[in-house]
Homo-oligomer: A and B are copies of this chain.
Amino acid sequence: MRARAPGTGWAARRSIRAGVGGTGATHAADEEDPVDDFRTIGERVRNWGRWGDDDQRGTTNLVTPERLVAAAALVRTGKVFDLGIPFDQHGPQPGGGIRSNPLHLMSATGAGQNVPGGFHYSDDYVVMPLQCATQWDGLAHVFYDDLLYNGFPASDVTPRGALHDSIEHQGKGIAGRGVLLDVAALHDVPWLAAGTVIRPDDLEAAMARQGGVDVGPGDILVFRTGWRRMFVEHRDAAEFMRDEPGLGVSCIEWLRERDVAAVCSDNFAVEVLPCENPAVFMPLHMVLIRDMGMTLGEIFDLEELAADCEADGVWEFFFCAPVLKFTHAVGSPINPLAMK
C-alpha cells in the first residue's frame, strides 16, 4: 500500500541525508544557488520514518511531554492573547476562486418559537473553507511527486478526504512553547513589503534584538511580518492574497536544524510570494509539509501579542491551538491562544 521501499526507516534516511551533503555542503549549495532544487533540499530534511512508518503527525511529535510541561510553566501572569482573526464575510478571501470567507447563517433566532415555560433559543450554521481564515495546514494539504508526508500515496486524497495524514491525527495538539519573532519590528516597518524574502539571518537578528530569545526543539515559531496589519488598514482582500512577505527557501534547513515543531505567521502562506524561483511554486509548502511533516499556521493576528512582548520583553509563551477533528480533512480553523 505504501510507496516506500523496505528498509528505509529513520536511521537509513539519516545516512542518506548525511551522504547528500550535511550542513557544510548545504551552505555551499546555498551560495551557488540560493533557492537550490527543492527536491534536493527535501531529501536532506526529510523526516519520513523518524517517528515510525505509520506516523501521521510529523514534527508535532517534537512537543514531548517534558517540553509541554515546561511550556505550561510560561504562564506567569495570566495574560491571554487570541491570535485568530474574526471569522466572517469581511475576511481576507477576495472571492471568485475556490476559497470564500466564512458564511454564517442563523437556523433559529427565537422567532416563531412557542415552547412550554418560555424557553427560546437560537442556533446557527457555518459554511466555510477550512483554509479561509486562521488555520492549521494538515499534512495532506500539499504534496508532490505522487507522495504525501511519510510516503503515503497521493491517491489517498480523494473527494472523500485524505485517508492518511489528515488533520484529526493532530487531535491532541497543538500546544507547546511559542516564540514570537517580530521581523517587521526588526526592520522598523509597520509591515514588510510583498515579496520580501525572510532569511535565517533575519530570524537570528530578530532573536538578538529580542533579548536573545531562543528557538529550539519542539517550539512553535511564530513570526510577524505585519501583513495582517496591512489588511486591517487597507481592507483589500485581493491585495492580501496576491503576494506577501515570507520565509525564503533558505529557512527550510534552519527550521530543520532547530527541530521546530510548527511555524506560524500573520501572512497567508508562511512563505514569500512571488516565489524566489518562478519555476517552482511554493517550495516551502512542498518541503516543510510533505518532506519534514511540519504543520503550518497561517493568517494569525499578532498585533496585540507583539505589542505586549515589545512592552515586557518576554517573547515566549504557552501556545495552545487545538485542531477541530474533521475526519479526513486537510486543515482546521483555529483560534490560537498565547498565554503569558
Contacts and interface: CB of A to CB of B under 8 A. Distances in A.
Interface in A66-114: 66-69, 71-73, 75-82, 84-90, 95-112
A118 interface: yes
A78 B65 contact: yes
Contact of A124 (B64, B96, B330): B330
Interface stretch (A160-168, A195-203, A251-259): A160-168
Given A68-B75, A78-B67, A100 B100 contact: yes
Determine the main DSSP class of A at the interface with B. loop
Contacts of A77: 65, 69
A37 to B, nearest CB: 10
Interface residues of A, number: 107
Contacts of A9: none
A80 B172 contact: yes
Contacts of A162: 122
Given A67-B78, A82-B172, A320-B320, 7 more contacts: A106-B157, A109-B109, A117-B283, A118-B144, A122-B142, A322-B322, A324-B324
A119 B159 contact: no
Nearest to A83: B322
